[in-house]
Structure 1
Amino acid sequence: VDACTAIVTKACTTVLGVFVTGCPDDQADAVKAAVAGDVPVWTVPAVEFSDASGAQAAAAVFDEHVPADEVLAALEAPFAAPVTPYAFQYSLLGKAKADKKTIVLPEGEEDRIIKAADYLLERDIVNLIIVGDKDAILARGKELGLNSLEKASFQAMDDEEVLAPMVAKLCELRAKKGMTEEQARKTLTDASYFGTMLVVLGKADGLVSGSINSTANTVRPALQVIKTKPGQSLVSGAFLMCFKDHVAVFADCAINLNPNAEQLADIAIQSAETAKAFGIDPKVGMLSYSTLGSGKGPDVDLVEEATAIVKEKAPDLAVVGSIQFDAAWSPTVAATKAKGNDVAGHVNVFVFPNLCAGNIGYKAVQRSSGAIAVGPVLQGLNRPVNDLSRGALVQDIINTVALTAIEAQ
């Protein structure tokens, strides 16, 4: 019984009670005493029967040995449900659907975008504006066996009714850079820029791009015309890493090359806010090759300075640093390397010291552990704009659109 309980617990399920069938009455007390833990144990003796008429007698024996009120009481016990990758992805879609937002997809003629759009529209998760040739996109959808694309709004990039106010607004926003109407029109031939301006004009609540364009193509327009939130000094990129039993945040894995201490602190606070937005109680680890002073050097000093800034700016945030990944991740390692620290071993927001470490780290963990990486989520922007990897799968696109919609709520 203990072995079975251990296996079930390892599979991220909470055991609320144990039935031991085929247990003679004279062994029941010994079995209950031998089972580890505090969960209730009910023993039921074997009842042999060969036809349906014997089932009633077996049910009576079960009722006699397993009081219904005890079972119901056990089912009422509070427990923490594990956040599995599939549960997390399901929750994304549910949250997005609960308060539907409009998301623009600038790369509308890409097959993966078309498939993801059809999935989202069929399930009524979000409203979509698909940029591109409507007839061509619908025709391609039919070739792919898709039937829900008609529910989308389509936006041609040469539609003067939309383009004229877009040009005027872009000239206004970039006036200090001396942008002319001619330059604005040329800029808006870029689909990512065009889509970003749909967000600026209020026609969409957020944007997802990058399946066929670089991160720079997605981020640059957002930085130029959407800009950062008030009080935010930078934009950073975080991944939601879906492990078999929980979800963690890794940052910055996409944007900032070598952040200074102030910037690293801002990334940590942004990432904690992202965690909260997706139902994760943030426990932040400021990563380094040193755990609480075990190593020395300028890189360690920077992380420790950043940690101090986080504690000053967000005094209620659970944070530890500097800390090595193993001590942040594992309670067993933390018990040795960071004894007495309540955050170590329980970190779920991992802040890497620079882009090199962050990008390598998330990809190494993703590929070696089988974790699902959702993102990057671009943090710090006035409106939600999120980037896709050019290697993104259809499910990745679906997840990113859903989380973008949630950010817009």
Structure 2
Amino acid sequence: MTRSLFLAPVEPHAGTSLLSLGILDYVLRKTRRVGIFRPVILDQSVDKHDKTIELLLHHFHLEQTYAQTYALTTSEANELLARNQYDQLLNRIIAAYQELERRYDFVLCLGSDSNHELSLFEFNLSVEVARSIDSRVLLLSNGHGRSVDDIAATLQQIRDAFHAKGSPVIATVVNKVEPERVEEVRSGLIADLAIAADQLFVLPGDPVLASPMLREVAEQLNAEILYGSDQLDRQARRVMVIAMQMDHYLDRLTDHALLVTPGDRGEILLSAILAHQSANYPPIAGIVLTTSERPSPALARLLDGLPKIPPVLAVNSETYETATDLSRVRSHITVDSPTKIAAALQLCEQYIDGEALEKQYGQIEPRGISPRLFLYNLSQRARSNRRRIVLPEGEEERILRATEALIRDQIADITLLGDPTTIQEQVNALALDLDLSQVQIIEPGNSMRLAAYSQTLYELRKSRGLTLEQAHDLMLDVSFYGTMMVYKGDAHGMVSGATHTTAHTIRPALQFVKTRPGISIVSSVFFMCLEDRVLVYGDCAINPKPTAEQLADIAISSADTAQLFGVEPRIAMLSYSTGDSGAGEEVERVRAATELAQERRP
């Protein structure tokens, strides 16, 4: 039986994208057969796709086309209403939904998400659709700046309307509440609405989600991009109108501030860029020049020769008008905003009890371990048993972005190897929301452990002719240093390979970590997260032509690793021949390895 949930926003800008991400992230741990459905979309959303639908389709790689996600456009709906064909309108919505119902185990239905207060027609249509498709209803309210009484009065009215039509409201989410008021709002609403605690979820406002990206600022202000077109994924956390002298405003700069200043104030533009590049001032989001003035030719020539200039936008409006326009810029969670997506998922994970919600709309039968459940379980296990991981390539962009996510989600303690100044400059240049005081940074050449590590390596390898001086030189290599941290117990694991080859990464481990007792060969495995399952492939990186004995060891090690990571091991030994149809050395080697593996692990 297909389960469906009707997500009904009560006010504009309540956070449909955020909650949709959280719901699908949970459901996809149970099944890949998931669809999304919005009964009526705006006309412009046909060509310029609906942001929420586009986000869900692409982020979760859903097996559904955009055209299959809706039944009608607003023009088509209005035309049917003008002809007094309301029943026909509902029939088309139901028919489109039933197509999805036949294909999926779960369908998330999205109510109207317009930028204005819901019209009576939009509200009544949501109520009627939820009843017609027999969907449970989840209400979503915008609690920002509102009293408990105000929120409760609106929600009670909406709940009564759905119940009157026979569509039960199973839970309510109140989003964007001031963080210090979350408990006050939650306890007040539970009392006022007379609902169970597991039917109400209150989410605090999040500055990452509330702050627009520079790309959104440029689009909504129709601004000209003078510099930094490749850095428009920066977020503007605060708007600062700058009209004072340099000495007075510099000390007021904050992280991710968007500066607004008249276009003829070249000294402010230049000093702001230099402050952004300086290690002594926080990185800014960008600069908006107003009043249709642009940098003079001499200043433009100077700026063209400077590195790492933050985004500089230009508009024709006056400064005050521009500041007012900026206050109206809306922030969206889009496909190209991974930081916002991660923040949204983390917020839902922290404040919404997925299991309690699932009990309300009907349990979904899991279909084996899905890739999303696999990754989720890993994250949960890592959080509950937090370990220190060393990342030798600490100056590399992908490593720093991964560190940002790991620290934000509290998955692991991180040690970065590299030059602290270079790492800080990279964090600033990438506009990462990463507090490096929460990260251990070690430069091997300046490490207090260098001498002890060198001595240990010398003792382990002196029988092979290694001198203490050579051991010292090797320990300056980040791969050797990181591996020694694991060997000595100063880290629990190492992840490398972003810029180094496999051979360079594993060479130190082969030299002094060695294999565990009973295993004759070092091997590797790949976890392949496919559409509907997780497979473990071994060995695809180290042993090009193992013997039968080694192949049996690889199979057993791969099975143990799979089980350790929560994947039920069922071993398939691969050769170019299937069954008994082939013969030859390669086939016989695989057959012999299979027999050995079965003997050791009946």
TM range (shorter): 0.5 to 0.7
2:406 counterpart (120, 125, 128): 120
2:504 is aligned to: 217
1:138 counterpart (418, 421, 424): 424
Instruction: Map Cα deviations across residues 332-389 of structure 1 (whole Å, 9 max, x no partner).
Output: xxxxxxxxxxxxxxxxxxxxxxxxxxxxxxxxxxxxxxxxxxxxxxxxxxxxxxxxxx
Alpha-carbon shift at residue 116 of structure 1 (Å)? 1.1
Instruction: Map Cα deviations across residues 178-219 of structure 1 (whole Å, 9 max, x no partner).
Output: 211111112122211111111222211111111111111111
CA gap 1:135/1:296 in 2 versus in 1, 3 angstroms: same
1:179 is aligned to: 466
Q: Is the 8 A contact 2:374 2:566 kept in 1?
A: no
1:303 is aligned to: 590
Alignment: residue pair count: 275
Instruction: Map Cα deviations across residues 32-55 of structure 1 (whole Å, 9 max, x no partner).
Output: xxxx9xx9xxxx9999xxxx9986
1:365 is aligned to: none
* Mapped pair 1:93 → 2:379: yes
Q: Is the 8 A contact 1:122 1:148 kept in 2?
A: no
Alpha-carbon shift at residue 142 of structure 1 (Å)? 1.7
Mapping for residues 277-356 of structure 1, pairs under 5 Å: 277-315=564-602
CA gap 1:272/1:60 in 2 versus in 1, 3 angstroms: closer
1:111 is aligned to: 397
- Cα RMSD, aligned residues only: 3.7
Mapping for residues 381-396 of structure 1, pairs under 5 Å: none
Q: Is the 8 A contact 1:13 1:81 kept in 2?
A: no
Q: Is the 8 A contact 1:12 1:82 kept in 2?
A: no
**Identity between Structure 1 and Structure 2 (%):** 40
CA gap 1:79/1:218 in 2 versus in 1, 3 angstroms: same
Runs of 5+ in structure 1 lacking a partner? 15-21, 23-35, 62-70, 316-409
Alpha-carbon shift at residue 133 of structure 1 (Å)? 1.2
Partner-residue secondary structure (3-state), 2:490: coil
Alpha-carbon shift at residue 161 of structure 1 (Å)? 2.1
Partner-residue secondary structure (3-state), 1:186: helix
Q: Is the 8 A contact 2:524 2:539 kept in 1?
A: yes
Partner-residue secondary structure (3-state), 1:284: coil
Partner-residue secondary structure (3-state), 1:294: coil
Q: Distance in 2 between matches of 1:46 and 1:166?
A: 66
* TM-score of the two chains, using structure 2 as the length reference: 0.41
2:555 is aligned to: 268
2:166 is aligned to: 59
CA gap 1:58/1:309 in 2 versus in 1, 3 angstroms: same
AA of the residue aligned to 2:427 = G
1:80 is aligned to: 366
* TM-score of the two chains, using structure 1 as the length reference: 0.60
Q: Which has the larger radius of gyration?
A: 2
2:445 is aligned to: 158
Q: Distance in 1 between matches of 2:167 and 2:406?
A: 50
Instruction: Map Cα deviations across residues 57-104 of structure 1 (whole Å, 9 max, x no partner).
Output: 64299xxxxxxxxx989946x933443333322322222111011111
Q: Is the 8 A contact 1:97 1:126 kept in 2?
A: yes
1:129 is aligned to: 415
Q: Distance in 2 between matches of 1:267 and 1:46?
A: 52
AA of the residue aligned to 1:175 = K
* Mapped pair 1:250 → 2:537: yes
CA gap 1:305/1:152 in 2 versus in 1, 3 angstroms: same
Alpha-carbon shift at residue 119 of structure 1 (Å)? 1.4
Q: Is the 8 A contact 1:264 1:306 kept in 2?
A: yes
Alpha-carbon shift at residue 309 of structure 1 (Å)? 0.2
CA gap 1:74/1:138 in 2 versus in 1, 3 angstroms: closer
Q: Distance in 1 between matches of 2:132 and 2:441?
A: 67
1:364 is aligned to: none
2:118 is aligned to: none
Deviates more, 1:87-96 or 1:126-135: 87-96
Q: Distance in 2 between matches of 1:45 and 1:219?
A: 60
Instruction: Map Cα deviations across residues 231-264 of structure 1 (whole Å, 9 max, x no partner).
Output: 1111111111111111011111000010010111
Q: Distance in 2 between matches of 1:126 and 1:108?
A: 15
Q: Is the 8 A contact 2:420 2:442 kept in 1?
A: yes
